[in-house]
Amino acid sequence: MAKVTSKLQVTLPKALDTAQRLRLLEQSILRQRERERKRPELTERREGEDRGWTREELYERGRPR
């Protein structure tokens, strides 16, 4: 059975032939597009929006100064 990780990667068994792998991949892409269509707020980029933190701050948390 195909496995979907939190990074939206699909793992397919090696025993499948190429046509089967392509078919399963295409099906997974269609399922993801359907999920994104239902929840557009998750895929929108909000440029200029302040999160209240920066990427650099994530690396500095918990480290002594």
25 inside domain = yes
34 inside domain = yes
- DSSP assigned state of 13: -
Sign of CA dihedral 40, 45, 48, 51: positive
Domain count, the chain: 1
> Of 29-33, 37-41, 49-53, which one has max mean pLDDT?
29-33
Please give the residue range of the domain that contains residue 31.
Answer: 16-41
| pLDDT-based confidence at residue 45 (cuts at 50, 70, 90) | low
The least confident of 8-12, 13-17, 32-36 is 8-12
- pTM value is 0.47
